Amino acid sequence: MTHTRLSDYLQQQQVDDALQQVVHAVSRASNDINHALSKGALAGVLGAAGAENVQGEDQKKLDVIANDLLKATLSAEPAVRGVASEEEPDVVPCHQDGRYLVTFDPLDGSSNIDINSMVGTIFSVLAHTGSEDAVEADFLQAGRQQVAAGYVLYGPSVILVLSTGKGVAMFTLDPDSGDYLLTDDEVSIPADTGEFAINMSNQRFWAEPMQRYIAELLAGKDGPRGKNFNMRWVAAMVADVHRILCRGGLFSYPWDNRKPEQAGKLRLMYEANPMGFLVEQAGGKVWTPEGPILDIQPQQIHQRVPVILGAANEVQRCVDYHQAG
């Protein structure tokens, strides 16, 4: 069976040359990240880096390695005006005539690294419309203005999931050729589901509407929903969202009261927005309790947001509970 290469797919989708350069740069960097991950303890890349990122989270060695690989590869592309990363305190200007801005989480789920579980790279691409040298204000665009978004999942096989605004496609890395080959170009999320993903250890800290919603799911067929639900949790957004894109479901990382002044755990610009773009392109919904995530006007690059995404009917039900007070 012949599979379409990523490069051919982008041309068939009539993606402009500059955006193709950006996507190919991400794919090349992902190959290098995968190579570093595959060596693991043999290369001495596991464990803590001994520093914190701008959010005050402990960095893993591979967080730093992945960030440096992506930053170097993207910065070398003339199409890239600037980049912003979870691991960088400030935006990084690149080429003054570049057309695109790229935000990324270089290694989502890095707490899974040392147990050899799934991790991934999440990225978002925006058109540059601002200052000569890319500055933070240029990146502060609502999620609906993304021109492309995707992620790379590093698992038993390496999978690149991409949308340029014309649906969602999945590509699998061919380890022999190094090419990403199209394996699914009709990704779709069913509106209903019997599966959800959430960190239940935080349940006691959630707002009452989320408590009510999850309690109904846990009650199963004897409860008000009248059916059983299965719970899955990988502790990596990229893996949980990938499962939803493959077979449906709902994912949430809600607000909790341990840090009431903090909107949520996940970052809007390089986690919620790119994943939201993919989910909507696949027919799902992505909301906060207040409204659609892709409509939020960002205030700063590392802004956080509560997330509810996946099967459209389940997301709507959960949001309805919140909006009803």
87 known member of a binding site: no
- Three-class SS of residue 46? coil
Query: Which of 165, 160, 82 shows the shortest CA–CA distance to 122?
Result: 160
The span from the CA of 208 to the CA of 212, in Å, is: 6
- Rg (C-alpha) for the chain, rounded Å, is 19
Structure tokens at 166: 């014309």
The span from the CA of 320 to the CA of 303, in Å, is: 24
34 known member of a binding site: no
Q: How far apart are the first and last CA of the chain?
A: 54
The span from the CA of 305 to the CA of 135, in Å, is: 22
Residue type, 184: D
The span from the CA of 60 to the CA of 219, in Å, is: 38
Burial class (CB in 10 A: 0-12, 13-18, 19+), 194: middle
Contact call for residues 287 and 294 (beta carbons, < 8 A): no
57 known member of a binding site: no
Q: Are strands 195-197 and 230-231 parallel, antiparallel or unpaired?
A: parallel
Structure tokens at 27: 């794919």
Structure tokens at 252: 């949430």
Residue type, 230: N
Long-range contacts of 257-260 (CB under 8 A, 24+ apart): 257/205, 257/206, 257/207, 258/205
The span from the CA of 193 to the CA of 313, in Å, is: 8
32 known member of a binding site: no
Strand partners, 149: 124, 163
107 known member of a binding site: yes
110 known member of a binding site: yes
Known binding-site residue numbers: 86, 105, 107-111, 199, 265, 271
Known binding-site residue numbers for substrate: 108-111, 199, 265
Known binding-site residue numbers for Mg(2+): 86, 105, 107-108, 271
